[in-house]
Amino acid sequence: MQPFELTVEDAAAAIAARALSPVELVDSVLGRCEAVERRLHAYVTVVADRARQDARRAEKEIFGGLHRGPLHGIPYGLKDLFDVSGIPTTASSRVWADRVPDGDSTVATRLTAAGAILIGKTHTHEFAYGLLTPQTANPWHADAIAGGSSGGSAVAVAAGSALFALGTDTGGSIRIPAALNGMVGLKPTYGLVSRHGVAPLSWSLDHVGPIARTVRDTATVLSALAGHDPADPASAAAPAHSPAPYPAGLRGLRVGVPDTYYFDRVDPQVEAAVRGTVDLLRELGAAVRPVELPLVEHMEATQWGLMAPEASAVHEEALRATPHLYGPDIRLLLEAGSRVSALDYLRAQRTRSLIGDAWLRLFDGVDVLIAPTSPITAARRGQETVRWPDGVTETVTDAYVRLSSPANITGFPALSLPVGKDSAGLPIGAQLIAAPFSESVLFRVGTVIEEQRTDMGGPADVPRAGVIHDSSDS
């Protein structure tokens, strides 16, 4: 196994034991990046010289007795919405082509304090307003999309050009690419992780979270990120996260399986993989029960009723000054959002409050919900619609956001993790949702699932050739 294939946990253990140096690890990851980037295009910017300099500093500190913790010397990627002083933040858009911030986002500051080493900025769907990340390829299949908007972050981790990465999630933009690329992605509770210094899309729906290869790695990264930040008005005054214990079983845990919405219009292979995971939880001692989800018929209208006008408000001045610099899909969405009335926006806000209250009561009877992350695996490039057996046709974007947006509307934590592959070898993700600030429950359940599953090939199942069906560089 090459160093770039290690999990954060294993790399940290090797560094602590002085069996692996940060310099060796960063060199391996940069070498992998150089080998696969021409096909995958996960990164907008790679800061190789800075990464090597930081690796030498980390090695000197660690070997000199100063160890900052499990992320010290670990290479990572940042979605190109996060400010880092002196490194361009472009949001994968011509609008910000020349933008170079002079300060760090809060999460970048916290990762630096933890000793993590930045490899570069990863591609996003322009300004995070989409679920495709068209610049970036899926490492499991040359013809498949990466998902988005944090597609570059998910692909970088999947391909081994980062050991973890950060993304943002407004309607599923961490969890969807994590699912489509066979990674673990966490959308934390709203307000748990600061968004200061992160380009906004929709301020009442935006979340920052990690993508990694294992649930344990995701928990470790969250520990470095979480905590109150007065620079973010939405930052919660909640205690910082600390990793939960990882038990061998789940006896007594109450698991809810939605009997509506989440299994409506879902690919049969996706449904089979998720229901098989439900059976696994039952075998391990969890109390599995069906649950009826309240107000699901209002989810899609509420998501768009909040996101569209908020995004248009964020981009109002730039859209007026330089409309020609936006991609046509983003410009159309922003222009449409500007036409949402104040009355409709307030209705969406009120509906969101009703949904949140009703879902909070739901968790009086269960500890965690399990459902598909998305109804389909990675769509093919150029595919615009999905047609279901009942005759309904929806866009690929609507199909993806349909199952991920409830956790954004409620602000509840949600974790996507791989639970199998379809007949084309594309990963399938299951989604765990818990009550606010119950990330420890997600990590507990997710870790048990991960340890029991064997059909993903293991947590470091890195596509060997950048695009797994093309072996020319393997």
Q: Which of 320, 321, 327 lies closest to 94 in space, CA to CA?
A: 327
- Does the annotation mark 149 as catalytic? yes
Counting every residue written for the chain, the total comes to 474
Nearby residues of 447 by Cβ (< 8 Å), 6 or more positions away: 215, 216, 246
* Identity of the residue numbered 218: T
Decide if 171 contacts 405 (C-beta within 8 A): yes
Strands 393-395, 385-387: pairing kind: antiparallel
Considering the candidates 28, 150, 153, 173, report the single residue annotated as catalytic.
Answer: 173
Are 393 and 385 in contact by the 8 Å Cβ rule? The answer is: yes
Q: Which of 93, 105, 149, 194 is catalytic?
A: 149
For the chain, the farthest-separated pair of C-alpha atoms sits apart, in whole angstroms, at 65
Separation CA 226–CA 192 (nearest Å): 6
C-alpha 420/C-alpha 417 separation (Å) is 10
Q: For residues 22 and 55, is the Cβ–Cβ distance under 8 A?
A: yes
Residue 457 zone, left/alpha/beta (φ > 0; ψ -120 to 50; rest): left
Pick the catalytic residue from 28, 79, 105, 187: 79
Residue in 447, 400, 356 with CA at minimum distance from that of residue 131:
400
Hey, which residues are catalytic here?
Answer: 79, 149, 173
